[in-house]
Chains A and B, each alone.
Chain A
Amino acid sequence: MQQLAVSASGLVKRFGDRRAVDGVGIAVPKGLIYGVLGPNGAGKTTTLRMLLGIIEPDEGERTLLGSRFPRDRSDQVGYLPEERGLYPNMKCREAIAFMGALRGLPWATGRKRAGELLESAGLGHAADDKIRKLSKGMAQLVQLLGSVVHEPELLVLDEPFSGLDPVNQERLELLIRGQRDRGATILFSTHVMAHAERLCERISVIAGGKVRFEGTVDEARALLPLRARYTPHHDADAIGAMLPDDAVREGGSWRFTMPDGGIEALLVRLIDAGHGISGLSIERPGLHDAFVRIVGAEALADQPETIA
């Protein structure tokens, strides 16, 4: 059996009458980048907080780095909360060292590593600036560095990309890969599919407090059939009748779902009819579409209060 960094089953958390998390299970293999995807209010943050032992689940079991008491392993964990927070009057270097010290890293080591980390993140010039002087994105990077300064075995990031510009998002992706290469397991939540698609080796999709999908990104994309985009050489209305039922005309092109038997027979017919082929692409739907399909169809239907 593959070693798991984090596992949980049947996690339930009620806030008043609402079941924010309703029987979530998760299994994160060691050394992987694992994404928890879900729409806003799906229960991602609550799930992460339960996994980390910040809050206790009402029901269910969880194991974190081999311990059933997540707090016992907190020194091996790094965490970037969804709501970013740093002491505004602290200097960057100190703030990072402080976060390391909270996880048992000696202050002196923390300060030294903070300098190196800031340097490599392109923030070396700000090491002795106070947090309040930084832009929001920079402060967020500082906090992220603070969550890895003690070189944790497990790094949990809650919506790490939100609020970052594309350059900093790129830096963050590099940093996450760097941590994985160091041997850490990374568990992060997001509702931005592009990052998940690029980074994650496995994903869970949570919606309405329940797990809707678990697997690799490719498996998720495979939930939807391939899509074809065909541009005839000589366009004509008659083409519509030859294509599958869901064909849609977009400008001079047609978009339709790949037929079950493959596209070859269709192409032969189109060429025989004299329409010709001036363009053809067959593509896997993105994670975005898969996500909308997984979440949209099921969760939004039986979770009317999340829309309201």
Chain B
Amino acid sequence: MMPRFLRQALTIARRDLTATVMTPTFLLFLLSPLLMIGFGIIGGLSGQAAGAAGEARQVLVAIVPVDQHEDLRAADRELRSVFSRDSARPRLQLEAPQGDAARQARALFDSDAIEAAAVLYGPLDHPMVLRRAGAEAEGRYLAALATQTLRAAHAPDVRSTARFEIIAVQAPTVSGRGQAAYFSTFAIFLVTLMLSGQAVGAMAEERSNKVIEILAAAVPLESVFFGKLLGAFGSALLFVAFWGTLIANLPKLLPAGMGSGLSDLSVAVGPIFPLLLIGYFVMAYLLQSAVFLGIGALASTQREIQMLSLPITIFQFAMFGMASYAAGNPESWVAMAAEIMPFSSPMAMAARAANAPELWPHALAFAWQALWVAITLTIAARLFRRGVLKSGSPKRGKKAVA
């Protein structure tokens, strides 16, 4: 015979297990890693893409007479063979000197067409290398390239001695935009990830303390849902205001220089960007919370709500995956899809604000996202009415005619 204690424990365990497994929520819970793997791949790709987006646009420029171009190119090929990836250093672009090579070199850093990480000019045995702050390796590569070219063309013992100069760049850069886009997406994602999940339990609370009947009798369910959404949003806003103020003041508190990296992040739409960012955070929050509120309202026990939190997080990651890919690849069809798809749209559009200067798509996006908040809430209220109150929706149109 099984000991009594064990039998009792197993009886309880069995009931608990059944209560957990025999729900549709469990299926969602069970399958969510599949989704995660799928979206994780997208997310990984897009993360790489965002990083690569900056690098791929950068170039190294050598301003040397045309007759040396072939030698340099050969040396570049040879040197590059030591890197495991071809893109370990920005690609080499060769230009012929035109008049004042020093001015020509400096002008390259202000160009919008290319993004020069480092520029070499002057004679190969005493070249001048200009580089951006942070592009130290790129500068050394150009110097090494000069040495290698000389050795190959002349004698093994020839050595090039380069001088280096760091150029401070003011103008927004394309890769800076890419990083700002990714940063915006990530910021919105992170904040909504932390906050919007709260909405899941909102209706469960109402149901457990039975207040729902009073609410449902007094006001339409749609209002109840929207009220809940706004209530949750209020607390989220407090959270954001608090942390936002802290972070905004952070650069002032840091030692000078540490904050300079932040100023490299530059955006296309200009000073209106923070407003857009806040606006898109609001929309991202409302959209996702509306979904969670609706789903949470249908869950009848705390257990179900707990199980919902994983699929919800994964859903958020999925949206983030799409939007961050969009941030790294602003012209791609994925970007377009992410901007149109309601639940990734706020993040993708925030990225767009960093990448592209036009403002009208943002007006359109806000309207579109607000429409989806309304649609989501309406669906949520209908499902609740049908599933929990066991009632159809008021058939106003039909009755009015009859």
Contacts and interface: CB of A to CB of B under 8 A. Distances in A.
Given A55-B391, A56-B393, A85 B211 contact: yes
B217 A81 contact: yes
A54 B214 contact: no
Interface stretch (B57-65, B81-89, B242-250, B394-402): B394-402
Interface in B294-352: none
Contacts of A85: 209-214
B211 A56 contact: no
A88 B217 contact: no
Nearest to B206: A85
A56 B395 contact: yes
Nearest to B219: A102
A86 B399 contact: no
A208 interface: no
A185 B345 CA distance: 52
Contacts of B217: 49, 52, 54, 74, 77, 79, 81
Contacts of B211: 85-87
Contacts of A68: 399
B41 interface: no
A68 B401 CA distance: 12
Nearest to A90: B211
Given A68-B399, A71-B220, A81 B213 contact: yes
A54 B210 contact: no
A76 to B, nearest CB: 11
Most buried by A among B215, B393, B394, B395: B394
From A81, A86, A88, A143, name the one whose CB has the most chain B CB atoms within 10 angstroms. A81
Contact of A84 (B210, B215, B390): B210
Interface in A54-101: 54-56, 58, 68-69, 71, 74, 77, 79, 81, 83-88, 99
Interface in A25-70: 49, 52-56, 58, 68-69
A74 B210 CA distance: 19
A259 to B, nearest CB: 51
Contacts of B74: none
B390 A15 contact: yes
Contacts of A180: none
B216 A54 contact: yes
Nearest to A20: B390
B253 to A, nearest CB: 38
A103 interface: yes
A74 B390 contact: no
B230 to A, nearest CB: 15
A143 B399 CA distance: 34
A188 B266 CA distance: 67
Contacts of A56: 391-395
Interface in A161-213: none
Given A74-B219, A85-B209, A86-B209, A99 B214 contact: yes
Interface string B199-235: 0000000000111111111111000000000000000
Which of A52, A53, A85 has the most CB atoms of chain B within a 10 A radius of its CB?
A85
A87 B219 contact: no
Contact of B209 (A69, A79, A87, A146): A87
Contact of B214 (A15, A58, A88, A102): A102
Nearest to B392: A56
Contacts of A102: 214-215, 218-219
- Ranked 9 nearest A-B pairs via Cβ: A85-B210, A55-B391, A102-B218, A81-B213, A85-B211, A79-B217, A83-B210, A56-B392, A56-B391
Given A71-B220, A81-B210, 10 more contacts: A53-B394, A54-B216, A55-B389, A69-B396, A74-B218, A77-B217, A81-B213, A85-B210, A88-B209, A146-B214
25 contacts: A52-B217, A53-B394, A54-B217, A54-B389, A55-B390, A55-B391, A56-B393, A56-B394, A69-B394, A71-B220, A74-B218, A77-B217, A79-B217, A79-B218, A81-B210, A81-B213, A84-B210, A85-B212, A85-B213, A87-B211, A99-B218, A102-B214, A102-B218, A103-B218, A146-B214
Interface of B: 209-220, 385, 389-396, 399
